[in-house]
């Protein structure tokens, strides 16, 4: 798949003011629908955590969090990358029961992000998590939750087009489940991103199962932190985005590691030292619930439904001057 280009003859369907109104409507509708569909309640969440807690998401293992000192605290604080681990801790602390869950507005800074029309240093998403039985740690549970989330996305699309008829339907009727190994088998000579493109062009919306572990080729489809998702029971919701002619990831999610898969994945990635961190110790000792959870990109979703050419049209962030100038020449003003 080629790099993302400014679409030819692009014209925004909603001006800056209408876009702001539409963002509010979109977020409010989807948030309510998702909470009702998955039986979630909203909670407050941290913007930063202690660096010695083991709670921060280390993403692909190479990104460095923004850190700072706090008066009277002997550990630096880190701006979160995501709340993947914190949510599981919170479900336990707040005494949630099986089948119940939480969601929150997660804001993060990923300073090492490579900036382009769909990637920003500022990350905003709905982070959600709910408790399940250990016996429900299986693909059927994963697919059921994915289908429910996709139903919320479909209802959100219907709602926003009713509010703004100038917008168009883009989601396929159903989401197609495919494993990362099946994609590699079908497109062995393509990169993972190019496989995603071909699959999205073919099916419209896909959920790729199994991200993090090595495939038959010896490489993973994509990197994933070893201590929150079970690599056999996770995946990404990806949709075809015709405005940019790309596969657009809207959500990364999965059933979380249990005691055995945590130890196994830390060994595979030579990260066994994390077993000494507070969060990981609680998990191995059986002090945390079994859960499923994920993140759903807020700006990504708004960009998709409002048919924008750059994520900077729906969120305020920092962009290279060259990028700002290039888009401005094409009549696109980044916030």
Question: Could you tell me what percent of the chain has a pLDDT over 70?
Answer: 98
Q: How far apart are CA 290 and CA 286, in angstroms?
A: 9
Residue 140, domain CATH: 3.30.930.10
Task: State residue 101 phi and psi, 5-degree precision.
Answer: -155, 180
Query: pLDDT grade, residue 2 (50/70/90)?
Result: low
The DSSP result for 55-113, as a single string, is -S--TTTTPPPPEE--TT-SS-EEE-S--HHHHHHHHHHTTPPTT-EEEEEEEEE-TTP
Report if residue 38 sits inside a domain: yes
Instruction: Please return the burial class of 161, using the count of CB atoms within 10 Å of its CB with bins 0-12, 13-18 and 19+.
Output: middle
Sorted by sequence, the CB contacts under 8 Å of residue 298 that are 6+ apart come out as 27, 105, 124, 125, 126
The DSSP result for 229-277, as a single string, is EEEEEEEEEEEEETTTTEEEEEEEEEEEP-HHHHHHHHHHTT-GGGGGS
Give catalytic residues, as residue numbers: 57, 110, 125, 236, 249, 252
Per residue in 27-39, pLDDT (tens digit) is: 999 999 999 999 9
Query: pLDDT grade, residue 335 (50/70/90)?
Result: confident
Among residues 223, 255, 254, the alpha carbon closest in space to that of 236 is found at 254
Report if residue 11 sits inside a domain: no
Residues 134, 326: contact at Cβ < 8 Å? Answer: no
Its domain, for residue 39, covers: 16-329
Q: How large is the angle between the packed helices 139-163 and 16-38, nearest 10 degrees?
A: 140
Question: What average pLDDT does range 117-142 have in this prediction?
Answer: 96
Report whether pLDDT(6) > 70: yes
In total, how many domains does the chain have?
A: 1
Determine the 3-state secondary structure of 333 from DSSP.
coil
Per residue in 73-104, pLDDT (tens digit) is: 888 999 888 888 899 989 999 999 999 999 99
Report if residue 3 sits inside a domain: no
Report whether pLDDT(299) > 50: yes
Q: How far apart are CA 64 and CA 165, in angstroms?
A: 43
Report if residue 248 sits inside a domain: yes
Length of the chain, please? 335
Mean pLDDT across the chain: 94
Report if residue 5 sits inside a domain: no
Task: State residue 210 phi and psi, 5-degree precision.
Answer: 90, 80
Question: What average pLDDT does range 232-249 have in this prediction?
Answer: 97
Per residue in 303-323, pLDDT (tens digit) is: 999 999 999 999 999 999 999
Report pLDDT for 59.
66
Report if residue 239 sits inside a domain: yes
Report if residue 216 sits inside a domain: yes
Residues 259, 284: contact at Cβ < 8 Å? Answer: yes
Query: Which residue has better confidence, 197 or 3?
Result: 197
Which residues make beta-bridge pairs with 126? 105, 296
Report if residue 189 sits inside a domain: yes
Report whether pLDDT(134) > 90: yes
């Amino acid at each position: 798949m080629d790099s993302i280009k400014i679409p030819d003859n692009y014209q925004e369907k909603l001006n800056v003011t209408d876009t702001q109104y539409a963002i509010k409507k979109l977020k409010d509708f989807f948030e309510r629908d998702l909470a009702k569909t998955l039986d979630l309640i909203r909670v407050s969440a941290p913007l930063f955590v202690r660096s010695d807690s083991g709670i921060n998401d280390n993403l692909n293992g190479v990104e460095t969090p923004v850190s700072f000192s706090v008066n009277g605290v002997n550990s630096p604080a880190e701006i979160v990358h995501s709340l993947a681990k914190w949510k599981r801790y919170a479900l336990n602390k707040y005494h949630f029961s099986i089948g119940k869950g939480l969601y929150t507005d997660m804001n993060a800074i990923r300073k090492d992000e490579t900036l382009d029309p769909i990637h920003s240093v500022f990350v905003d998403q709905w982070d959600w998590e709910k408790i399940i039985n250990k016996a429900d740690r299986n693909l059927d549970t994963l697919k059921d939750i994915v289908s429910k989330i996709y139903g919320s996305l479909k209802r959100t699309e219907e709602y926003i087009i009713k509010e703004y008829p100038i917008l168009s339907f883009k989601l396929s009727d159903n989401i197609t489940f495919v494993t990362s190994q099946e994609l590699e088998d079908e497109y062995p000579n393509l990169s993972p991103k190019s496989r995603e493109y071909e699959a999205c062009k073919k099916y419209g919306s896909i959920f790729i199962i199994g991200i993090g572990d090595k495939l038959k080729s010896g490489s993973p489809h994509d990197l994933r932190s070893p201590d929150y998702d079970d690599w056999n029971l996770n995946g990404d919701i990806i949709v075809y985005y015709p405005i940019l002619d790309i596969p657009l990831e809207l959500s990364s999610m999965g059933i979380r590691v249990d005691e055995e898969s945590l130890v196994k994945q830390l060994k595979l990635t030579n990260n066994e030292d994390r077993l000494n961190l507070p969060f990981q110790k609680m998990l191995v000792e059986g002090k945390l619930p079994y859960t499923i959870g994920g993140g759903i990109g807020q700006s990504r979703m708004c960009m998709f439904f409002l048919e924008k050419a750059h994520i900077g049209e729906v969120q305020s962030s920092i962009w290279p001057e060259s990028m700002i100038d290039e888009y401005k020449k094409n009549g696109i003003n980044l916030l």
